[in-house]
Amino acid sequence: MSRTQVAIIGAGPSGLLLSQLLHLCGIESVVLERRSREYVEGRIRAGVLEQGTVDLLNEAEVGERMQRECLVHSGFEIAFGERRLHVNLQDLTGKSVTVYGQTEITHDLIEARLALQGRLLFEAENVSIHDYDSKRPRVRYRHQGADHELDCDFIAGCDGYHGVCRATVPAGACKLFERAYHYGWLGVLADTPPVSPELIYVNHPRGFALCSMRSKTRSRYYVQCRLEERVEDWPDERFWQELRSRLPEGTRPALITGPAIEKSIAPLRSVVVEPMRFGRLFLAGDAAHIVPPTGAKGLNLAASDVRTLHRALVAHFRSGSDDLLNTYSERCLRRVWKAERFSWWFSSILHRFSDDEFDRRMQQAEFDFLSTSRSGMAALAENYVGLPE
């Protein structure tokens, strides 16, 4: 049996970031990931970072490339048909957001952990959690053809919604809040210049669209689609045609198309698990909550969980105080539910979710309100850049 202070299940950004922060504070950890390194580094995910997330990556000493290559956005645009509304984040909040892909963050974190000889095990199979409600939790797994057991003080479940950590908790020990949406996002990544220097969120009678980017030469576009559709139903030509039809007329000429280097359909859902702590097992990121991607809160919520858990673990190992560990779930969930509310609201005003004319008029009224109310715009901007911890 081997031993560590913190066993971290999952090598996504939350697990890797937690491991890096703990290392810098002299706390040992082992990261177990069931997928290969190539798979983990190739996952296409979010790319809009709140300032708190940027600060945390810098604190973890993995922000050098991000600072060099990122795009800082002081605003974004909402288009309602041909009407356009610019949300000036800097003017309304004094803050901005940073565009830097989650794929790049993952790559930076893996490189940093390996450079410091971090214990990062990919393709760890048959991971199972044991005795998490005791003072000596254990993790069993199989790696490179051999069975192993890891003794630890705490377990961080950073392995996503379908991971083993949340599934280990008995159904009666937690409550699951969930809302499924009957539409999804068809996303395309292409090595083409973005159609605009800032993000454009589009409410169109044919459905929602989003123009985003990962860099000045790589674009990320989305269109709302039905859940039953398949990626195979959307050849590149059809996607570009549909996206162009949903863009405001003045934006269409700037759209540069090209071969998709990644294409996928993601369902939208809201999920919260309460509580987020079970004995010495702590859930973080998608293992505890999922938000619709409309508000760009998924990765930022995961980073917030990591910040909270990291500080609590440091307090435990340095001073023996468990006050922060004991309030971990409560503090995280306050922020989680605010982000869930914003993501749900932002999704509701941008997507076509029914043919009911009443719903359409309500969306139009919401847009009219934002267009004429600075306080309404300020509330939108405050939520978008990230509420205080």
2-61 pLDDT per residue, tens: 999 999 999 999 999 999 999 999 999 999 999 999 999 988 777 899 999 999 999 999
- Domain assignment present for residue 94? The answer is no
Report the CATH number at residue 129. Answer: 3.50.50.60
- pLDDT by residue (tens digit) across 297-308? 999 999 999 999
Asked, as a colleague might, if the bond just before 275 is cis with ω within 30 of 0, I would say yes
Could you read off the pLDDT of 154-168 as tens digits, one per residue? Answer: 999 999 999 999 999
Residue 284 is assigned to a structural domain of this protein: yes
Q: Which active-site residues does the annotation give?
A: 73, 201, 293, 297, 384
**Residue 306: closest CA among 103, 101, 158, 113:** 158
In a domain, 16, yes or no: yes
In the prediction, which pLDDT does 146 show?
97
Q: Which domain holds residue 161?
A: 2-46+101-178+270-346
Dist CA 97 CA 283 (whole Å): 26
Residue 170 covered by a domain: yes
Rounded to 5 degrees, φ, ψ at 338 are -65, -40
- Give a yes or no: residue 140 inside a domain: yes
> Would residue 318 count as lying in a domain?
yes
Flag whether pLDDT at 1 surpasses 80.
no
Q: Would residue 282 count as lying in a domain?
A: yes
Number of domains comprising the chain = 1
Residue 171: band (very low, low, confident or very high) from pLDDT cuts 50, 70, 90: confident
Q: Report pLDDT digits (tens) over 105-159.
A: 999 999 999 999 999 999 999 999 999 999 999 999 999 999 999 999 999 999 9
Q: Does 29 map to a domain?
A: yes
- Which helix H or strand E contains 290, and what residues bound it? strand 289-290
